[in-house]
Amino acid sequence: MTPRILVGAAAGLVLLFLLAPILAILPLSFSASDILRLPPEGWSLRWYAALLSSERWLLAARNSLLVAGATTLLGTVLGTLAALGLHFGRFPGRGAVLALLAAPVVTPSIVTAAALFLAYSAVGLAGTFVGLVLAHTVISVPFVVLAVLASLRSFDPALLRAAASLGAPPAAAFRRVVLPLIAPGVAAGAVFAFATSFDEFILTLFLAGPGQFTLPRQIYAAVRDVWDPTICAAAVLLFLASMLLLLASEALRRRGGGIG
């Protein structure tokens, strides 16, 4: 056997190890019985029907979309502005600011969550929708900043001077010249922000009140509560949504030429 085949076999095993639990959930979600067993004894869509008729799950889905939507909006605007400032600004400590913005990526989620929990308790944001969106924004912004910074690297600064010489005030120059050219980076950042919020669990566990349960939080509650294949159906849908977001960001990356 050549080393090449060995490497391929090892990679295949690793992939199988990573994917097997997810793949196992797929048939389980279509099971006809309420016993979790492989292979299922019959096929049905009953768990999906149960999912879509459960008020708890629907509320969780709605919350997930609302929080992720608001996070995406806030995170994309703030992250894009931060990236512009970091790219075009000439001030001491730019590297330090970037490191600070990226800190939530490397800080263990549990630390961020505990810190935010304490801080939120002090100011009354714990258990509120706004608090949850702010928390998700904190961990989403770095992805937006990095994606937009990457697209700004290929932006020719002479275009800004050209726009100014042609009579465009800074805001018009940004809207007409900068934004269209960095749009793929901004969009990729927005997708990252959405996906980050949509998948987020630990912060939500600490900060969300019962009214703000998101899908991951609801899965966690259901697992501890009643272990039935509804969870599998929810997991499959969440997995599909994440796949779609991944494909979208990949498509944007290709269009933008090396973003992300």
Q: Does 98 bind other proteins (CB under 8 A)?
A: no
Report d(CA 213, CA 129) in Å as an integer. Answer: 10
Nearest CB to other proteins, comparing residues 52 and 181: 181
Count of residues binding other proteins (CB under 8 A)? 19
CA geometry: angle 86, 193, 78, nearest 5 deg: 35
CA geometry: angle 100, 101, 107, nearest 5 deg: 70
In whole angstroms, how close is the CB of 176 to other proteins at the nearest point? 7
- The H or E element spanning position 235 is helix 230-256
Q: Does 167 bind other proteins (CB under 8 A)?
A: yes
Which position among 37, 106, 165, 224 is part of the footprint of other proteins (CB under 8 A)?
Answer: 165
94 phi/psi in degrees, rounded to 5 = -65, -40
Which position among 84, 177, 191, 219 is part of the footprint of other proteins (CB under 8 A)?
Answer: 177
Report d(CA 177, CA 42) in Å as an integer. Answer: 58
Q: Does 174 bind other proteins (CB under 8 A)?
A: no
Q: Does 91 bind other proteins (CB under 8 A)?
A: no
Decide: residue 215, CB within 10 A, 0-12 exposed, 13-18 middle, 19+ buried.
buried
Pick the piece of the chain touching other proteins (CB under 8 A) from 60-68, 79-87, 89-97, 177-185.
177-185
Q: What Å distances lie between residue 111 and 12, 81, 115, 129, 202, CA to CA?
A: 35, 27, 6, 20, 10
Which position among 176, 226, 255, 258 is part of the footprint of other proteins (CB under 8 A)?
Answer: 176
Q: Does 172 bind other proteins (CB under 8 A)?
A: yes
Q: Does 50 bind other proteins (CB under 8 A)?
A: no
Tokens found for residue 112: 């961020």
Residues 133-162 that bind other proteins (CB under 8 A): 156, 158-159, 161-162
β partners of residue 31: 43
Q: Does 169 bind other proteins (CB under 8 A)?
A: yes
Q: Does 81 bind other proteins (CB under 8 A)?
A: no
Report d(CA 182, CA 205) in Å as an integer. Answer: 35
In whole angstroms, how close is the CB of 159 to other proteins at the nearest point? 6
Q: Does 92 bind other proteins (CB under 8 A)?
A: no
Contact (CB, 8 A) for 139 and 196: yes
Residues that bind other proteins (CB under 8 A): 156, 158-159, 161-170, 172-173, 176-177, 180-181
